[in-house]
Structure 1
Amino acid sequence: MENLDPIVQETLARINEQVSNNPVVIYMKGTPQMPSCGFSSRAAQALVDTGEKFAFVNVLADALIFEHLPKYQDWPTFPQLYIDGELQGGCDITLELAENGELKNLMAAANAKVAE
């Protein structure tokens, strides 16, 4: 993160804190209750359907996160799903994980670590 503009550094540090402090977090356009794009809607619904807890960040409500999140893990699109600090991917990967049953297991394992 050296040689980056201080605002970019601060934004990436804030993203890192969100990813580190939430076992499951989705960066999406809108909220799970009021998504602002179809990809975010489908990904968030897949998370809701697991019954597991998760956090979300509405990238439309934070211009700096919207602009700089793609630099965080070199993933250009939204939504972005992080479980246990690791980028899982976007909508397609989230839906694939949900379909094969891995999403609930990954989320449950990450949430259980916090409960310990």
Structure 2
Amino acid sequence: MSDDAQTRIATAVKSADVLLFMKGTPLFPQCGFSSRAIAILDHLGVEYATVDVLQDPAIRAGIKEYSDWPTIPQLYVGGEFVGGSDIMMEMYEAGELLELLDQKGIAHA
């Protein structure tokens, strides 16, 4: 991964309390997993930022190395990697995603 992509990813992760690297945009997700991740965040009523990895091949490849996680979407909360849509769903259903937001002091509905 290029140092530039690494730097841009690190800057993005630090720039938002809740950040989702995804395929597409919140209004037009380009895969079912990204769509599910957006639905979970919207249901929690949390403010979040997104990065569309389809717009930047360096970010798309680099995020997988950055997190050591092979798939997209990827959720970061408070600068920490949480997981992909399956982990998000498990945490959401168990109430753990809400707990994480509370622990990090991130407002939600």
Normalising by structure 1, we get a TM-score of 0.84
| Structure 1 spans left out of the alignment, 5+ residues | none
Q: 1:82 aligns with which of 73, 76, 81?
A: 76
Matches within 5 A, 1:19-98: 19-98=13-92
**Partner deviation per Cα, 1:60-102 (whole Å, 9 max, x = no partner):** 1112101211110211110000011111110100011111122
Between the two proteins, the alignment pairs up a number of residues equal to 107
Runs (4+) of structure 1 moved beyond 3 Å?
108-113
Distance 1:12 1:27 in 2: 14
Distance 2:55 2:72 in 1: 14
**Residue range with higher mean Cα deviation, 103-112 or 64-73:** 103-112
Measure how far apart 1:108 and its partner are: 4.6
Contact 1:53–1:111 (8 Å) recurs in 2? no
Contact 1:28–1:57 (8 Å) recurs in 2? yes
Normalising by structure 2, we get a TM-score of 0.89
Q: Rg: which structure is higher?
A: 1
**Residue range with higher mean Cα deviation, 93-102 or 45-54:** 93-102
Distance 2:102 2:39 in 1: 16
